[in-house]
Chains A and B, each alone.
Chain A
């Protein structure tokens, strides 16, 4: 029996504020959209993976899987709520594919939705409490941009990166967003390096325009046995390689918080795929802040140490460049949807490899690498998708 698992379909909410919907209400919208557009009957599902609801708003619901299976009317043989922050969604691909290979499921719905409470509306303190050690870290005035700024500062000092290098990451993402009608910043016009450097400081080295945009949203994808995928698509996404690494649980832990996670996860994925960075056409690199795509370009092996700045300054990551990056606009210009943040880079990677991206489709997208992380770069997952097995 063919037990290869493939990605057969994806569906995504347009990122924006949905004040009329609760955290769980967003899940319902995604299910309705997916059932309609995929022509899927819930009876076809024997696996379900989801993230918690309400985390980024301080109201975590860890029983989403029970509510979903009840409302779908299904009795899956494989099901869980999976909580690894921004890495959750990429990890789901591996968990679903493993269950399918083991014969425990044949069609797994993976779904996530999030509402990201604005930092200025109380979100900063709620999220700081969730992510910081309450004795060792919280008293010092932690919050998410400042914690990422810590990670970035060591990397920037060691590798000689400059403020304009960070700024160009946001410029690149905005260029992609202008091509993607679904991106939050689609109609906001281009930005320049000077615009970023002139925007107000949040926590050095991050200006306002070096940060992603909090919003609401989410999405779903379907992982099936290869023979079942034909019902949903003529071009599935094949899973060529996967790696995962959990580097630390707090920034006060030893080691290099920028390097340990992605270098280990990435090396596993390339080894499994039998590929090198030179074989990859398109990358989706989780960009909560402008520094992280630079960190990932170097630690995943796309750029030699200290050269990611010159690489982005050359336009290589922009439309028409040699390594299109964050082709949907990234979290910085598409939008950061709280608990479902890692869904948008992943779905964008799936769309590119399946040839279904629409106006922002890259001509050559035979192999796409997605790297997402959770927490303060604690949990890492690297996935390499291909148009061919």
Chain B
């Protein structure tokens, strides 16, 4: 089995991955307009502030979209099928992709309340979500 993909750690997202190592899920919060969003933006997508800050999410979320993957796309995922790929909406209003873990894939539905957990993958603590 080849290794599962690791995220690219960059100057833009380093604070996020430092947070996950401490068990914190961090999102960006604009100091000017208070919009909240993912680290993928180098500026505030709402008001254009080029130095948005960070805040800690409470880790609670709701499943908005999900699929149970039965056919592994490539070798790294062969031993984990069926797995659940999902989009969840954090209570802070930010959407993120994840796997829904620690449950029977058949039990996942749109609207399922979930909370963050962290999967150790190499040196990275990868945010995942489980039913709460």
Question: Which A residues lie at the B interface, using CB under 8 A?
Answer: 119, 122, 124-125, 128, 133-143, 145-146, 149-151, 153-154, 157-158, 200-205, 250-254, 257
Contacts and interface: CB of A to CB of B under 8 A. Distances in A.
Contacts of B77: 141
Interface string B1-24: 000111111100100000000000
Given A201-B82, A254-B95, 20 more contacts: A125-B73, A125-B74, A136-B39, A136-B97, A138-B5, A139-B7, A139-B126, A141-B69, A141-B73, A141-B77, A146-B73, A150-B87, A151-B65, A153-B110, A154-B110, A200-B70, A201-B70, A204-B67, A251-B97, A252-B95
Contacts of B76: 141
A161 B10 CA distance: 41
Contacts of B85: 140-142, 146, 149-150, 203
Contacts of B95: 252-254
B37 to A, nearest CB: 8
A251 B87 contact: yes
A251 B98 CA distance: 12
A203 B71 contact: yes
Interface in B95-123: 95-99, 109-111, 121
B68 interface: yes
A205 B68 CA distance: 8
Contacts of B111: 157
B71 A141 contact: no
Contacts of A141: 4, 69, 72-73, 76-77, 80, 83, 85, 99
B73 A143 contact: yes
Nearest to A250: B40
What 7 pairs across the A-B complex have the smallest Cβ distances? A149-B67, A143-B73, A201-B70, A135-B7, A124-B73, A157-B110, A125-B74
A202 B72 CA distance: 8
Contact of A203 (B69, B99, B109, B121): B69
Q: How large is the interface on B (under 10, 10 to 19, 20 to 34, 35 or more residues)?
A: 35 or more
Interface string B58-94: 0000001111111111101100101101110000000
Given A133-B40, A142-B85, A203-B85, A122 B74 contact: yes
Nearest to B64: A154
A204 B68 contact: yes
B110 A134 contact: no
10 contacts: A136-B7, A136-B40, A138-B5, A141-B73, A141-B80, A153-B65, A250-B40, A251-B87, A251-B97, A252-B95
B108 to A, nearest CB: 10
Contacts of B124: 139
Interface of B: 4-10, 13, 38-40, 64-74, 76-77, 80, 82-83, 85-87, 95-99, 109-111, 121, 124, 126
Given A150-B86, A154-B110, A252 B96 contact: yes
B42 to A, nearest CB: 13
Contacts of B64: 154
Contacts of B10: 135
Contacts of A151: 65
A154 B95 CA distance: 13
A247 to B, nearest CB: 14
Contacts of B40: 133, 135-136, 250, 252
Contact of B87 (A157, A203, A252): A252
A202 B81 CA distance: 11
Contact of A135 (B8, B73, B82): B8
A205 B108 CA distance: 13
A140 B67 contact: no
A253 B64 CA distance: 13
Given A135-B10, A140-B85, A202 B71 contact: yes
A261 to B, nearest CB: 15
Nearest to B4: A139
Nearest to A128: B73
A280 to B, nearest CB: 30
